[in-house]
Amino acid sequence: MDFPIISSLIILPTIGALFIIFTKSSNNKYQSSKYVALFISLANFILSIYLWLIFDKSSVNFQFVENREWLSGFINYKVGVDGISILFILLTTFITPICIISVISTIKHRLKDFLIAILIMETLMIGVFCSLDLIIFYLFFEGGLIPMFLIIGIWGGERRVYSAFKFFLYTLLGSVLMLIAIISIYWISGTTDVEKLYEIGIGEQYQKLLWLAFFSSFAVKTPMWPVHTWLPDAHVEAPTAGSVLLAAILLKMAGYGFIRFSVGLFPIASEYFVPLVFALSLIAIIYTSLVALMQEDMKKLIAYSSVAHMGFVTLGIFTMTQQGIEGSIFQMISHGLVSAALFLSVGVVYDRNHTRLIKKYGGLVTVMPKYGIVFMIFALGSLGLPGTSGFIGEFLILMGTFKKSFLVATIASLGVILGAAYILWMYKRVVFGEIIHEEIKSMKDLKKFELLILILLAIPIIFFGFYPEPLINSIETSVTSLIDNYNTNLTQSIAKK
């Protein structure tokens, strides 16, 4: 057996966390912990880049698969990547060091614990994206609740307790139904190995109920309307790095789950429930965009915009077209970068002025010109201006949707306009205009490290906006095989009838 590269990716952050736990720092600055966390997360990023380079993009199969006996005989520890999951792993390992840089420089209170939580979180998130066994997936998926609960609860804002509880209980409630479904799959098919399940399929009569059980978990996590209400609360109260993790990666677990499990395992049920998903997605796009328009809190506005963007993602996935699914994956990656950047940008002004209310700002461009520029890039990325990665995703999704239904696509396009409206209006009120508040005048422009992380995020947003080929190239074969599998299943089922 070769070097277990996937397991190393998963375990490395945890080793870093253990290292931090057992290093005693004599002073309160936690110098060693900072360097260890940064070093480990960067090492993991480099490892994942290496994985991406040696990954064979033309192959349909899962690669670097590791299969070990785990729970005597009936469940194996099985991990591996295909073209879809590798992008999410890259996103995770890219966002984590950025989070760590931001945490190191802004958080003073219990920094060591925060670093441990982020590293454990990274382990769990990578685990989610590469597990090829449903039980293993569930372990990683649910395990993420613990560190996130602590991040919101310990370092959050005023109503942090309420938000942390809401986040935890909402997600747990959705997920226990998924657990029942996973165990049922084991008894129906005799295995929880995803690869085997793809081959043998799941009996048609069970699919709808199982699909609904998985849906209940993923819909809460996505989050889809009407179970999205935990997200704005969690975002507003979470510290900046917590919001970044939540928006950039945690929400993507559900989108990934939809593609890998809902569509992959239950094609017949997915086809049956397409209208439901379309309806919920459209409501999410239009309704939450309108809600976002009325927000006074910047973080809340971005949180609602996330719901709307994730609405596009679910819409794209369930078009079951090459463009739609590719667009959704692209949109998730792009939204991961853009929303992370937007939350970091809000964090920058929050650290200086200690408020997130839009009306407390105005005229920032005169005191913080650099900030005005980078914030502009991310705002444009969010609304999907051509030349940013946001455009490619939305464009592909709408293209896929047009194939499926003209009406749905038209309504969804309205969402794009609304998206431009709320983000630009916020940008205008915060950055332009005259300085009304005295505090603004004394605000300093971006520090070096802030500029560094924001530019690091801006580069891929623009790069993939102009040249999406590397990403599309990596997912293309996997998506094609997914859709082929889906269509054969459907035709077989129709033929039977």
- Which residues would be at the binding site for another protein (CB under 8 A)? 69-72, 135, 138-140, 142-143, 145-146, 149-150, 153-154, 160-161, 164-165, 168-169, 172-173, 176-177, 179-180, 183-184, 186-187
The number of CA neighbours under 13 Å toward the Cβ of 263 is 29
The tokens describing 377, both together, are: 């890039």
How many other C-beta atoms are found inside a 10 Å radius of the C-beta of residue 445?
Answer: 15
416 phi/psi in degrees, rounded to 5: -65, -40
Determine the Cα–Cα distance for residues 106 and 43; give it in Å rounded to an integer: 23
Closest distance between another protein and the C-beta of residue 139, in Å? 4
- Give 181 or 342: the residue with its C-beta nearer to another protein: 181
* 17: CB partners within 8 A, 6+ apart: 115, 116, 119, 120, 123
Cβ nearer to another protein, comparing 238 with 315? 238
The residue among 83 and 223 lying less far from another protein, judged by its C-beta, is 223
Tally of residues, the chain: 497
Residue number, 140 or 486, with CB nearest to another protein? 140
* Least Cβ distance, residue 194 to another protein (angstroms): 18
Dihedral sign from CA coordinates of 9, 145, 220, 243: negative
CB of 135 to another protein, least distance (A): 8
**CB-hemisphere CA count at 13 Å for 344?**
34
Q: How far is the CB of 265 from another protein (least distance, A)?
A: 17
Q: Are strands 63-71 and 75-81 parallel, antiparallel or unpaired?
A: antiparallel
Q: Between 168 and 225, whose beta carbon lies closer to another protein?
A: 168
- Rounded to a whole number of angstroms, the minimum distance from the CB of residue 475 to another protein is 29
489 CB-side CA count, 13 A: 26
Q: Is the backbone peptide bond immediately before 13 cis, with ω within 30 degrees of 0?
A: no
Q: How far is the CB of 213 from another protein (least distance, A)?
A: 10
Q: Would you say 176 or 357 has its CB closer to another protein?
A: 176
In the bound state with another protein, the residue whose beta carbon lies nearer, of 180 and 407, is 180
Q: Give how far Cα 236 sits from Cα of 51, 172, 310, 376, 414, Å.
A: 35, 20, 18, 22, 27
Give the DSSP H/E element, type plus range, for residue 66. strand 63-71
CB of 284 to another protein, least distance (A): 24
